Amino acid sequence: MTSTLQNRISWLDYGKGLSMLIIILFHTDIYYVGESSFLVDLLFFHTSIAFFFFASGYTAKIENFNFKNSITYIIKRLLIPYFIFSTLIYIAKFLLRGWEMVVFTMLYEIFGGLASWFIASLVVSRLALSIILKLTKNIFLITASCLLLSAVGFVMTQYLEAPILWYANYGLMSMFYICLGIIFRKREAILGNKIKCQAFISTIFYIIFVLIDLYILKDSQWHYVCSSSYIYGLKAGQVILLRVVYYLITSILGIWMIISLLKLMPAGIKSLSYVGRNSLTYYYLNGGVVFILTFIFNKIGLVYDGNYFFALLLFIFVVIILSISSNLIHRFAPWMVGASRNY
């Protein structure tokens, strides 16, 4: 039992660590390069972000759920760090860019949950799950509630003006992946068989869908459909629906691929496991660190000129600084990320 639990923790930490590294690379591309590459973009939106919400559902304690503890977690591990780091990063960006700071705008964006769409979405999804689990422990009702909230989030995205406070639409849509995590945890003994076969199949299908996106959909209007568009003889509403289905398929395949491949990896890869265990700390800091290092690179003449080597170099520096910063925070100021000193 202990060995199984340890293996489960290992692949979960690896998955969060790998997903966090993809997120850092994506932000490096956005800040330094100016745009993300197709593959990084796909891995970011279709795999890493989805995996984090999947992991949130996987680690949900349904049978021994305690509403008070869950709300405490949201406040200590998500809200307080969000307010601290959002404020610090907001001030740093204004100082480096030389902009005039508008206090009202800063307060509106931070307290409106607009400073970090991912953390805001995580807060909304965790709060929604907490309410569901307080009302029922029945897996069928939990699943139905999560899927219903996902549909509500999708409707909000389509019909309400963006950005929505606390990115509630994204948080609700993410309930689909939280639901997947819950179901997988319940059925892991069955779904976890023949890992090598699953790794092969999931990787092949993921590559097929990547190639479809790259060679068939990438240069079409598929990704930019508007309400009056007709693509491949389909109306805009039909194309939007197909886009959603396509996204769900690729993200599920991406999660499946990550799980099956990482379960084949040996336990004890400390560096990747560390990033996974402290992924929230890395996330809180990564936007600010990438922004500051990009500013420094540009100041010393290392402006991006098409040579991706410098983007990878910046990425490596970011990861090193984040690792050092994470260690210092957890050692001397764990309250900043809602952790204990022995976390």
SS percent in the chain: helix, strand, coil, step 5: 80, 0, 20
One-letter amino acid of 204: I
H-helix or E-strand containing 104?
helix 103-111
**Amino acid 222: pLDDT:** 46
The gap between the terminal CA atoms of the chain, to the nearest Å, is 23
**Amino acid 218: pLDDT:** 55
Residues of the chain with pLDDT under 70: 1-8, 98-101, 192, 215-239, 341-343
Q: How many CB atoms lie within 10 A of CB 299?
A: 10
Residue from 192, 84, 73, 65 nearest 135 by CA: 65
**Amino acid 226: pLDDT:** 39
Q: Rounded distance, CA 177 to CA 199, Å?
A: 20
Per the CB < 8 A criterion, the answer to whether 343 and 330 are in contact is: yes
Residue 89 CB-density burial (10 A; 0-12 exposed, 13-18 middle, 19+ buried): buried
**Amino acid 236: pLDDT:** 62
**Amino acid 233: pLDDT:** 56
Residue 137 DSSP label: -
**Amino acid 113: pLDDT:** 96
Per the CB < 8 A criterion, the answer to whether 61 and 183 are in contact is: no
Residue 161 DSSP label: P
**Amino acid 235: pLDDT:** 62
Side-chain half-sphere exposure of 136, counting CA atoms within 13 A: 11
Prediction pTM value: 0.90
**Amino acid 211: pLDDT:** 82
Per the CB < 8 A criterion, the answer to whether 143 and 99 are in contact is: no
Q: Rounded distance, CA 200 to CA 260, Å?
A: 9
Q: Is 230 helix (H, G, I), strand (E, B) or coil?
A: strand
- Which residues touch 93 (CB under 8 Å, ≥6 apart)? 99, 288, 291
Per the CB < 8 A criterion, the answer to whether 126 and 56 are in contact is: yes
- Which residues touch 137 (CB under 8 Å, ≥6 apart)? 62, 63, 65
pLDDT digits (tens, 9 = 90+) for 167-199: 999 999 999 999 999 999 998 888 767 788 999
Map out the domains of the chain as residue ranges: 2-190+265-337, 193-262
**Amino acid 188: pLDDT:** 85
Q: Where are the beta strands (DSSP E) in the chain?
A: 230-231, 234-235
**In the chain, pLDDT over 70 holds for what percent of residues?**
88
Residue from 333, 330, 332 nearest 343 by CA: 330
